[in-house]
Amino acid sequence: MPLTKDQQAEIDSAREQKHETRRVTVPALEEILYKALPVLDHGFVRVIDYMGDDAAIVQAARVSYGRGTKKVREDAGLIRYLMRHRHTTPFEMCEIKYHVKLPVFVARQWIRHRTANVNEYSARYSILDREFYIPAPQHLAAQSTVNRQGRGDVLEGVEAERVLALLKDDAQRNYDHYVEMLNEREDGSVIDEGKSGLARELARMNLTLNVYTQWYWKTDLHNLFHFLSLRADAHAQYEIRAYSEVMLETTKRWVPAAHEAFMDYRMGGFALSAKALEAVKRMLAGETVTAESAGMSPREWRELMSALGR
């Protein structure tokens, strides 16, 4: 994920600035503020700004005046209670803003989460970079035969080489045609003074979905955790999961107590339906229980057995 000299200089300049404030700051998050954390081949995630910390969650829950006199252990206990019982509004008091560089097809998945403020790089005004996402060989998989949204076995040999060649060639060819239609080079200079060039808002439609875009994405902690619970899950598409895992690490720096509760109750937990709970009670009582006797579908039963390690 190489940055240009100008991009790196901009980041270095932002990181050198110091501001006096009475607002709460989090040293562990300040360490990575503005830094470009690499994702995929050309992407990144940067924390641009944030508001609040673990104490802000507790303060909102207690509606108190200061940071309070409670011990950290008691604060963590309250945060775990809030997470366990799905009291979400105290988590909404914390906000974070990211700068993300990502492939367009990942952005189109991501934008389905409509609980954030988003401002995307506009190809109506600017020329997109000649950068495309090309999967690493271990992520080049065939369509799953049992899951319409999933991947199957990894492609190998000649088949894999052919697919990679198609992805690279198509992306490069389409970008070349994009530049030709614009009649502009990537630096904005005109190629042929005798031609007008197609409008940028039209020329962009020829680009492939693996071209990179960028946006600023701001959300509150509750909605961030909801996003991560879906997109950092093992069943999520690899590419968006790669971004989610990096963002999950930023929450660990930012709100460690809330992160721990989230990992325990959301990422590491399993919600039981009324039928599943009754089935577990019957099992603990020594009864032999089946999907049929529990009144559960085969899929529900498999998920329950998997969660129970049986």
- Which residues are marked as active site? 231
3-class DSSP string for the chain: CCCCHHHHHHHHHHHHCCCCCCCCCCHHHHCCCCCCEEECCCEEEEEEEEECCHHHHHHHHHCCCCCCCCCHHHHHHHHHHHHHCCCCHHHHHCEEEEEEEEEHHHHHHHCCCCCCEEEECCCCCCCCCCCECCCCHHHCEEECCCCCCCEEEECCHHHHHHHHHHHHHHHHHHHHHHHHHHCECCCCCECCCCCCCCCHHHHHHHCCCCEEEEEEEEEEHHHHHHHHHHHCCCCCCHHHHHHHHHHHHHHHHHCHHHHHHHHHHHHCCCCCCHHHHHHHHHHHCCCCCCHHHHCCCHHHHHHHHHHCCC
Instruction: State the Cα–Cα distance between residues 119 and 267, nearest whole angstrom.
Output: 29
